Amino acid sequence: MICMNLNYMKVKESYLFADIRKRIDAWLADHSGQRILRLGIGDVTQPLTPSVVKAMHEAVEDQARAETFHGYMPECGDPQLRSLIAQWYQKRNIPVEADEVFVSSGASDELGDILHLFDRQMPAMIPEPAYPAYADANVMDGREIIFPDTDMENGFQPLPPEHDVQALIYLCSPDNPTGAVCTRECLEKWIAYAVRTDSVILFDAAYESFVFEENIPRSIYEIPGAKECAIEISSLSKTAGFTGTRCGYTVIPMELKRDGMLLNAMWVRNRTTRTNGVSYILQKAAMAVFSEQGQKEVAELHEVYRANAKAFMKALDEAGLYYAGGKNSPYIWMKCPEGKGSWETFDILLKQAQIAATPGAGFGESGEGWIRFSMFASKEDIVEAGRRIIALRNEKYF
Ligand code: PLP
């Protein structure tokens, strides 16, 4: 009798970041004293903003007094936070209501947990290169995966395949790793495809706050028809520096029905069984992000990373290197020079310039020949990395 989920045997070991660490450690073992400029991992470096820290302190004090103490929180989220998030959408004329918003512990949790709503016969469609957790969660779930390509020709925008398949479609905009953003036209095509095929789109908006161009959608619900076919999964991790604090939100519209079932109602049932809600302290912190002052502060936070991206793109331009992303994204996706491979380029950057980046091959086969730089580093490191890349180019290492 088989008693284990054998799909775990099919999940590829996640060697990417372990391999990167191993290569850096090996290099440092022979070159002690060198400082590596770490532009590899997509984790934030700026601290939480003052409003968030104040709200968290106050919430801790609340928990210390019987009169203000909170036990279990509502499973789908504090109604005040759900309402604040809905208002934040509505201020931008995006029609989201409080009961369509679910507070979560972050996007990763939701991207995996949400699969529970769908039959395993429904394949996942994951445009590559992609955030590796999408495929891994689906392999663990025993689901077939279709990988439509994105490429340089279309600016790494994912486009629906020629053939019609009913699927669970993953879209990420701004994208990790390519930094590409889905335009309105791109989303319109996917929405038409999803409606035609009875598919459901999982729109990963974890990097929405990095979109600064007015005509680029930050939410899929800016496009008519999206509420009938899309779930939006988002997070405060990159928006407000919550990677180590943990809070996010998922929107499941009331219009979204399949097989006569309301997905919103199914998710309420799921959450009330499988979670006991996000902690009071973290939800208070999240409320501070959505306050007027909180929004000003996170805008300043983004300015730091945006300035980094600008400085780095300027250096790549000066070096004559081709890249995507950076404009509406904290990631810069650089084409490896002179037909070099991702890992070859990684090694040159590490050994000749002490820069750590992430090889594109780690995001799927179509990422081979590309390398990702994260702009979540200090300004000094970004400027220095740009200077070293220009020097590499002048010295013909690239
Ligand atoms: N989605 C994408 C595309 C990401 O890059 C990340 C984290 O790097 C996540 C989701 C996960 O975010 P969270 O910290 O909210 O789990």
pLDDT the model gives residue 48: 98
CA distances to 42, 113, 114, 141, 279 from 270, rounded to whole Å, are: 30, 9, 9, 17, 18
Distance 222 CA to ligand 1 centre (A): 22
Give the distance (Å) from ligand 1 centre to CA of residue 134.
Answer: 10
Domains defined for the chain, CATH in brackets = 14-43+294-394 (3.90.1150.10), 50-291 (3.40.640.10)
Q: What is the pLDDT of residue 122?
A: 97
The confidence score (pLDDT) of residue 17 equals: 83
Which atom in ligand 1 lies closest to the alpha carbon of residue 104? 15
Residues 268-321: tens digit of each pLDDT: 999 999 999 999 999 999 999 999 999 999 999 999 999 999 999 999 999 999
- The answer to whether the CB of 216 falls within 8 A of the CB of 183 is yes
- Residue 210 CA to ligand 1 centre (angstroms): 14
What local confidence, expressed as pLDDT, does residue 149 receive? 74
Å from CA of 109 to ligand 1 middle: 9
Q: What are 156-183's pLDDT values in tens digits? A: 889 999 999 999 999 999 999 999 999 9
**Ligand 1 atom index nearest CA of 42:** 8
What residue has token string 């775990």?
Answer: 8
Q: How far apart are CA 108 and CA 113, in angstroms?
A: 9
Shortest CA distance to 74 belongs to which of 234, 271, 242? 271
* Distance of alpha carbon 170 from alpha carbon 172, whole angstroms: 7
Taking all residues of the chain, what is their mean pLDDT, rounded to a whole number?
Answer: 95
Q: Is the pLDDT of residue 152 over 80?
A: no
AA letter at 261 = M
Mutate to test the pocket of ligand 1, among 131, 203, 243 (most ligand atoms within 8 A of CB): 131
Name which of 363, 323, 357 is nearest 40 in CA terms. Answer: 357
Residue 63 has pLDDT above 90, yes or no: yes
By alpha-carbon position, which residue is closest to atom 1 of ligand 1?
A: 206
| Residue 12, pLDDT above cutoff 90 | no
pTM: 0.96
For atom 2 of ligand 1, the residue with the nearest CA is: 206
Is 360 within 8 Å of 367 (Cβ atoms)?
A: yes
Residues with CB under 6 A from ligand 1: 42, 106-108, 131, 172, 176, 204, 206, 235, 237, 243, 248
Query: What φ, ψ does residue 254 adopt, rounded to 5°?
Result: -70, -20
CA of 59 to the centre of ligand 1 (A): 26
